[in-house]
Chains A and B, each alone.
Chain A
Amino acid sequence: MNQRFQNMVKLHQNRVYTLAAYMLRDRAEAEDVTQDTYIKLWQRMNRSDEEVSRAWLLRVARNACIDRIRKRKPITDQVPEVGDHRDPAFRMEQDQLGKWLKDAIAGLKEPYRSLIVFRDVQQHSYQEIAEMLEMSLSQVKVYLFRARKQLRSKLPRAETV
């Protein structure tokens, strides 16, 4: 059993940590969530012989993140600041875009935030996302579409400022 646990750590730790890091935008909290998730995994593996899937692991991690986010200040729908985009020649560089996107993703509401991380960052299949979020395939596609649209609407552009 210990060996199975070690394999689960090696195989999925980065996915769990990435999900938490993107959702919480706080490394210390992401580490806590990752550790708590694996403690739950270990306890579950002791309780039953039922196979624990990657989807289960990520679902637990996501729920832990949501709990932490709820305990924070109320969500504000603010657009992250990026550089000085009053400059007409403003154009986001890749690094800047990446940072802006991370903040913007963290600013999305659920389930949009998780969907973007699962699909666009971690490249999970629609089917696996549906399993993790307990949604239908069509719901996954619709919500993902809305999530991207929200990101697009927040994108700062020189001509709009």
Chain B
Amino acid sequence: MKNKTEMNTQAFDDAIEELLSGDLNTNQAQELQQAAASDQAMATAIIDAWTIRRGLDELETEAVPPALEKRLLAIPSQHAPRKQWFAWLKPANWQAGPSWAIGSALAMSLILAIGISRQPNPAEIQQAREDIQVALAYLGKSLNQADQVTRDELSLQVQKILAGQQHRPAQNIEGDTRIEPESIDL
């Protein structure tokens, strides 16, 4: 093997790395070692490279401090998941909505799917019309009930407020001016 001064620098460095990585065959390794025996610069470079490799091999991974591990494990409880605009499409999120609305929507989509997939006969069309009327009536009734509950609740709350204000006079900054409750038109 040529000595360092005769060798291309890149080839020389490559040969050292290959030697240390075990990529040189026995003959090539022996040639390099023999060349290094008569070439001080080459020998020094090999020793340096070997020293670096030895040091790198001894470097150890760092262990996470226990306090940090605790913080890492607590992340799910401290960081709420990010909501995405299409999250409601995921079936897992359907439970959050009113069940009657989901049921109605599914029924409606089923009817549409059946209607699209095949041509119905006149009797089926008539039956579907009646079913839709029943469904719509049911939906309307549900909405009316919900509306009535809301109105009742609102009325009750207003009555409570009015009653409270009649028994407990409000005061302005000056102290004793009574404020008459305004009439609320429901």
Contacts and interface: CB of A to CB of B under 8 A. Distances in A.
Interface of A: 2, 5-6, 9, 13-15, 17-18, 21-22, 27, 30-31, 34-35, 38-39, 42-43, 46-47, 92, 94, 97-98, 100-102, 116, 120-122, 145, 148-149, 151-152, 155, 157, 159
B79 interface: yes
Nearest to A122: B61
Interface of B: 13-14, 17, 44-45, 48-49, 51-65, 68-69, 71-73, 75-76, 79, 81-82, 84
B13 to A, nearest CB: 6
B45 A121 contact: no
Given A149-B13, A152-B45, A155-B51, A98 B59 contact: yes
B79 A34 contact: no
A14 B64 CA distance: 5
How would you classify the secondary structure of chain B's contact residues: helix, strand, loop or mixed?
A: helix
A13 B76 CA distance: 15
A15 B44 CA distance: 34
A13 B64 contact: yes
A120 B64 contact: no
How would you classify the secondary structure of chain A's contact residues: helix, strand, loop or mixed?
A: helix
A43 B82 contact: yes
A10 B57 CA distance: 24
A155 to B, nearest CB: 5
Contacts of B53: 148
Contacts of B17: 145, 148-149
A87 B49 CA distance: 21
